[in-house]
């Protein structure tokens, strides 16, 4: 593992970015690594841009990932993932992106037009080494709701060969927050199966 290993979670307020950061930081600590987490908020209300930076290694690092240094990008929302990739992705970035759109406030107010998903994915492919696009809607609706998207994407990340954190440890960290019988654990397992 390169040190620091940099994971960036991009989404909008209310999608569970902070939970992702907490789960991954806990999993890092359980594997003997030192996690440093930094959060940035585009708006202090539900629906604004949120980035969660996680840097893990054997020593302390500045909390925010430098430009072009992301190893894994978790995109809970496609346009937010693209915004994050423009600044932080590089030639080693593996992006896991949900294709479910959640337009930010300015798009909802018709101030801006939401780009076509194909254009977003095409741009991400130019910015990242690898892009994995997840269609989670059907699965998560069957399990319970789209509110479990963060757990689903964590499962997909844990199944990557590039992940420095074992799938089992991430799952245990998620379970410590939500409990063993939570639908979030089912969502996590479904995300892991999809990438396997």
- The share of the chain scoring above pLDDT 70, in percent, equals 91
| Better-predicted residue by pLDDT, 65 or 195 | 65
Angle at 82 (CA atoms; ends 79, 88), nearest 5 degrees? 145
Stated pTM of the model: 0.92
pLDDT for residue 164: 93
Q: Look at the chain and report how many structural domains it folds into.
A: 1
- Return the CATH number at 20: 3.40.920.10
Q: Are strands 5-12 and 49-57 parallel, antiparallel or unpaired?
A: antiparallel
Q: Where residue 194 falls among pLDDT bands split at 50, 70, 90?
A: confident
| Better-predicted residue by pLDDT, 159 or 2 | 159
Q: What is the pLDDT of residues 116-137, one digit of tens each?
A: 999 999 999 999 999 999 998 8
Domain that holds residue 92: 5-195
The DSSP symbol for 146 reads G
Q: What is the pLDDT of residues 13-58, one digit of tens each?
A: 878 888 999 999 999 999 999 999 987 766 545 567 889 999 999 8
Residue 153 predicted with pLDDT over 70: yes
Residue 75 predicted with pLDDT over 90: yes
């Amino acid at each position: 593992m390169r040190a620091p290993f940099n994971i960036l979670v991009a989404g909008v307020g209310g999608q569970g970015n902070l939970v992702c950061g907490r789960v991954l930081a806990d999993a890092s600590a359980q594997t003997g690594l030192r996690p440093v987490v930094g959060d940035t908020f585009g708006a202090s209300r539900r629906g604004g841009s949120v980035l969660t930076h996680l840097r893990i290694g054997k020593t302390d690092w500045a909390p925010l990932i430098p430009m072009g240094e992301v190893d894994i990008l978790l995109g809970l929302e496609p346009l937010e993932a693209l915004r994050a990739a423009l600044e932080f992705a590089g030639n080693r970035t593996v992006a896991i992106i949900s294709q479910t759109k959640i337009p930010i406030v300015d798009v909802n107010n018709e101030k801006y037009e939401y780009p076509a998903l194909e254009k977003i994915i095409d741009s991400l492919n130019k910015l990242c080494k690898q892009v994995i696009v997840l269609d989670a809607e059907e699965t998560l609706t069957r399990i319970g709701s789209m509110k479990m998207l963060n757990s689903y994407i964590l499962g997909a990340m844990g199944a990557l060969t590039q992940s420095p954190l074992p799938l089992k440890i991430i799952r245990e960290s998620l379970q410590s927050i939500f409990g063993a019988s939570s639908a979030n654990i089912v969502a996590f397992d479904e995300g892991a199966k999809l990438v396997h």
